[in-house]
Structure 1
């Protein structure tokens, strides 16, 4: 399960694996005060894309299109997040005030699409119970 949560909201046990996905550290939070398992700066939108978007909801469709293209070009940045989502709860932490138009929402949708595209694991142990034909 993938969920998005503002970094300023309290951490709860149900969050599971908590990862900050912003390139910049959130204002007003000390690093030692934030409960997180990882900070993946490279999975965040490029600086140029973030600045072009400028948190303008009218620009969100173009931001989403371009951010998804950046993600598709660099699976090494998000591959480990798929494993976390498969094995339990994954919480994507973001600092933006707008909870509907931000990089976490785009990344969550991208990861969910990727999980669906990949389907169940195709490793041989998964098929051990099936009869060979």
Structure 2
């Protein structure tokens, strides 16, 4: 799935920039303390998020990120999550797509896994 535009990963709490392009929240749960007006998202794609079970197992433990990524990619291969991933790929065609997460460290979040999948091999 190699879109023509760039895929970025940012925290939803970061200020909005002109370089964000299409802003999509990819968390299953709405971020604490964030109003919908302040979030300034174009879409909330919660169906692409990891299952509750996987999210709880992972707990954003950096030592588990590699295994989390493997398990999450498996989940993304079917059902509602697969459709949501395809939708994100469509949104990224020819434009910048910014995947937003409330995670304290976006580099070890589901958004990072999604960005890698959407960008495809270099």
Superposition TM-score, scaled by structure 2 size:
0.88
Quick check: 97-106 or 17-26, which moved more?
Answer: 97-106
Q: Tell me the equivalent position of 1:34.
A: 39
Over 4 Å off, 4+ runs? none
Q: Would you say 1:46 and 2:51 are equivalent positions?
A: yes
SS where residue 11 of structure 1 aligns?
A: coil
Q: Secondary structure at the match of 1:87?
A: coil
Shift of 1:83: 1.6
TM-score (norm 1): 0.81
Question: Alignment length, in residue pairs?
Answer: 114
Deviation at 1:84, TM superposition (A): 1.9
Whether 1:68 aligns to 2:69 is: no
User: How far has the Cα of 1:30 moved from its partner?
Assistant: 1.1
* 1:13 CA drift (Å): 1.5
1:108 is aligned to 2:115: yes
Structure 2 unaligned segments of length 5 or more: list them.
1-5
Paired position in structure 2 for 1:79 = 86
Relative contact order (alpha carbons < 8 A, sep ≥ 6): 1 or 2 greater? 2
RMSD, aligned CA = 1.1
Query: Once the 2 structures are TM-superposed, how far is the Cα of residue 29 of structure 1 from its aligned partner?
Result: 0.7
Q: Name stretches of at least 5 consecutive residues in structure 1 with no aligned partner.
A: 117-133
- 1:15-55 Cα shifts (integer Å, max 9, x gaps): 00000000001111112221000001100000000000001
- Choose 1 or 2 for highest CA Rg: 1
